[in-house]
Amino acid sequence: MIAQVLVELSNKNIDKTFDYIVPANLILKMKIGIRVTVPFAHQILEGFVLGLHDFQDTDYELKEIIDIVDTDIILNSELLELGKYISDTTLSTLISSYQAMLPKALKARNGVVVPKKMESYLVIKKVGINSLNLKQTEIIKAIEKNGKLLKKEANLISTSSVKTLLKKGILEECYEEVYRLNHLSEIKNKYPLTSLQQQVVDTVLAKKNTDTVFLIHGVTGSGKTEIYMEIIEKLLEDGKESIVLVPEISLTEQIVARFQNRFADNIAILHSRLSDGEKYDEYRKIARGEVKIVIGARSAIFAPLKNIGVIIIDEEHTDSYKQDSCNPKYHALDIAKWRSRYHQCPVVLGSATPTLESYARAAKDVYQLIELKERVHHQQLPSIEIVDMNQEMKRKRGNFSLSLIQSMQDAFSKNEQVILLLNRRGYSSFVCCKNCGYTEKCPNCDISLTYHKSSNTLRCHYCGYGTTLSKICSQCGEEAISTLGVGTEKIEEELNQLFPDKKVVRMDFDTTSTKGSHERIIRSFSEGKYDILLGTQMVAKGLDFPNVTLVGVIQADTSLNIPDFRSSEITFQLLCQVAGRSGRGEKKGRVVIQTFNPDHYAIRYAKNHDYSGFFTEEMSIRRKLGYPPYYYLTVIRMLSSSYEEARDASNKVAEYLKKNLSSSTIMLGPSIASVFRIKNIYRFQIVLKYKREDNLYPTLKNLLEHYKSNSKLKIDIDFNPIHI
């Protein structure tokens, strides 16, 4: 028997299977989709078995498979097909496509071992024992009650008695695997749906055996989560499974709690903050069919469910659903649609601020649009005040307008809570010399360093480089270093000065880098231990705190200044989403947005919760400039540690594209990328804009083939990028 093995190395030169002889002792265990170890060149690698066939004579000597890594199938037939789809549509290697689907413990990667968690139990070996003392009898009775007892629980009764019973052979110690996460919860009463919510549920379930894509455009607080759970519950009755994607890890705490109250331990969680062992357990729990509902971030879309009834993508507008930092550069929505076709199940997208692409597809009946224009129980949307910071320069205190300060004082007087958004972490945006104007930059990246006061360090948010802040300028030698701009640390400092008796909790990348930090912050704020929640965009989506009646946006212009065609859309979405955190309980909500651009249309439409108005104006601009959804985009980047190599290659690639693509395709560049250097790698890019380009994939495949042996240059391709 011959096995076709795809080895763990992600390299275009070996992006294919290799034939290996299956030794006689492994033939009965050999299956497509399992991992094996094989000799490859002068090393031993892991790989996936993608095919099996009978032995054939070859012109070269075949090597034998060394061993099987696991007996369970890691890649089932659906995931095998899905990996090929990802590889074909993103032009990534096949092995990188398969690896992207799996937790670290199950990837084909030599040397990675994640042990199972084992728990020690005691069972009775001899029965009818006499002359036991009181403690020993208590232990025996506890074991008889359930047939076994955790050894650590028996030790709480009496450690010496446990040792004696084991020594005499009365008890026996055995080990069983246990999962690291425990989702047990008592099922609580569910909330009755409103008639409008029930209509949405009925509409989706009417097409439960089709691959229809639904877009639920519902204002913040319109009860989308309850709708999701009702759909899932009805499909459970049919034996169907469900995937629920959430955009931020910070949202999993609240949404998982709500799902536990409804479905107890019938859920698994998948996201990047879990330990390797926890991911391993949750993934196997899903593969074994022990749970029917999977909740998680982007990678949860690959959950190995076998009978999917619905795929739900909450806050579908969020850019975190696109993998853009490494290959394969997939979008979770594309994977969801593929799996929807495979399982013949609907995809449900939900958002108060859908992407322009999604809403445009709904307008053309490609998606089925469902509108929820009111909050549940007729709660009012919060009133929004726009504060022109150009007029506040003399009255403001630090970065706070008089209006925001007064609004916060009013909320505190009623024992209400406040959320503040500043989409920039750290103490200041950058530091520069007042004498010569030099700005401290990362030595590895073409980016200014951010100052973090708590650690007195300058940090690069791209590569992680850090250094201690010096007051002496490294260029002119003068003691003239000054911090400019503002970050969440600086705002926290100002809050402590403005409201010394109020407790502030900060939620940004720096305060949530440790395991469980998101959950601790959200739980503490929800329990009223803090008066103010200050954070970056992770506080803007999905969080539900009934006692929050005021939301303040410190600098609404931050995202407007991003050099990206989506900057207005990002700003509108962020403002609407964070505004939706206010007034979600019985109390009326209020929002104060501070800006230097009060007349910008993104801010004006956000003030009136007017998605339709924003959509119409932004679409007009996109049409004139030739951007999505009117055009598709593809970005080709040339990456090299040599500036000259990257520059010369970008010019050659541009000439090749001009010759091989149609004249209707618009090419921008080559030019330097917006961040020119990251981790000492220079980056040039070309942007392609097209409505239809039949030669695109063949041309780009030839391009990758041409450069695959060039060790000094990497060609990186991103189809339909979120940002350029």
How far apart (Å, rounded) are the C-alpha atoms in residues 590 and 314? 24
What is the model's pLDDT at position 503?
97
CATH number of the domain residue 96 falls in: 3.40.1440.60
Q: How confident is the model at residue 723 (pLDDT cuts 50, 70, 90)?
A: confident
- Among the residue ranges 33-47, 195-209, 450-464, 604-618, the one predicted with the least confidence is 450-464
Question: At which of 593, 624, 655 does a domain end?
Answer: 624
Residue with tokens 């055009």: 631
Report the number of distinct structural domains present in the chain.
6
Query: Is 279 within a domain?
Result: yes
Q: How confident is the model at residue 674 (pLDDT cuts 50, 70, 90)?
A: confident
Q: Is the peptide bond before 721 cis (omega within 30 degrees of 0)?
A: no
Query: Is 475 within a domain?
Result: yes
pLDDT tens per residue, range 561-590: 887 899 999 999 999 999 999 998 889 999
Residues 579 and 676 reside in one and the same domain = no
Residues 205 and 332 reside in one and the same domain = yes
Residues 280 and 350 reside in one and the same domain = yes
CA 332 to chain centre: 10
Average pLDDT over residues 41-54: 94
How far apart (Å, rounded) are the C-alpha atoms in residues 677 and 261? 48
Query: Is 577 within a domain?
Result: yes
CATH number of the domain residue 713 falls in: 3.30.70.600
Residues 338 and 356 reside in one and the same domain = yes
Average pLDDT over residues 203-218: 97
Residues 296 and 232 reside in one and the same domain = yes
Residues 702 and 686 reside in one and the same domain = yes
Query: Is 186 within a domain?
Result: no
pLDDT tens per residue, range 430-465: 788 888 878 888 888 888 888 887 788 888 878 888
The yes-or-no verdict on residue 249 having pLDDT over 80 is no
Query: Is 190 within a domain?
Result: no
Residues 131 and 41 reside in one and the same domain = no
For residue 222, give the 3-state DSSP assignment: coil
For residue 705, give the 3-state DSSP assignment: helix
Residues 715 and 643 reside in one and the same domain = yes
Residues 602 and 707 reside in one and the same domain = no
pLDDT tens per residue, range 482-532: 776 678 889 999 999 999 999 999 998 878 878 888 889 999 999 999 999
Residues 360 and 245 reside in one and the same domain = yes
The yes-or-no verdict on residue 665 having pLDDT over 90 is yes
Rounded to the nearest integer, the mean pLDDT of the chain is 92
- Among the residue ranges 8-12, 334-338, 631-635, the one predicted with the least confidence is 8-12
User: Is 111 or 688 the better-scoring residue by pLDDT?
Assistant: 688
Query: Is 187 within a domain?
Result: no
Could you tell me the CA-to-CA distances from 543 to 522, 523, 704 in Å, in that order? 9, 11, 43
Q: For residue 54, how many other CB atoms are within 10 A of its CB?
A: 6
3-state helix, strand, coil in the chain (%, to 5): 35, 25, 40
User: Is 250 or 299 the better-scoring residue by pLDDT?
Assistant: 299
CA 464 to chain centre: 20
What is the model's pLDDT at position 637?
96
Question: At which of 86, 106, 126 does a domain end?
Answer: 106
pLDDT tens per residue, range 4-31: 999 999 998 899 999 999 999 999 999 9
Average pLDDT over residues 249-254: 70
Beta bridge partners of 295: 244, 269
- SS3 assignment for 470-501: CCCCCCCCCCCEEEECCCHHHHHHHHHHHCCC
Q: Of the candidates 322, 338, 347, 343, which has an alpha carbon nearest to the alpha carbon of residue 216?
A: 347
CATH number of the domain residue 514 falls in: 3.40.50.300
For residue 186, give the 3-state DSSP assignment: coil
The sheet carrying 457-459 orders its strands as 450-452, 457-459, 466-468
Question: At which of 624, 659, 685 does a domain end?
Answer: 624
pLDDT tens per residue, range 183-197: 766 677 778 899 999
Q: Which residues of 410-434 are buried (b: 16+ CB within 10 A; e: fewer)?
A: ebbeeebbbbbbbbbbbbbbbbbbe
Query: Is 476 within a domain?
Result: yes
Percent of the chain with pLDDT over 90: 71
Q: For residue 487, how many other CB atoms are within 10 A of its CB?
A: 24
Residues 396 and 350 reside in one and the same domain = no
Query: DSSP of 100-148, one letter per residue?
Result: HHS-GGGSS-TT---PPPEEEEEEESS-S--S--HHHHHHHHHHHHHS-
Residues 472 and 495 reside in one and the same domain = no
Q: Of the candidates 704, 699, 645, 713, which has an alpha carbon nearest to the alpha carbon of residue 13?
A: 704
For residue 712, give the 3-state DSSP assignment: coil
Instruction: Give the domain extent around 72.
Output: 2-106
What is the model's pLDDT at position 420?
97
- Among the residue ranges 72-81, 180-189, 390-399, 689-698, the one predicted with the least confidence is 180-189
pTM of the model: 0.91
The yes-or-no verdict on residue 426 having pLDDT over 70 is no
Average pLDDT over residues 667-684: 92
Contact by Cβ (8 Å): 47, 108 = yes
Query: Is 433 within a domain?
Result: no
User: Is 428 or 113 the better-scoring residue by pLDDT?
Assistant: 113
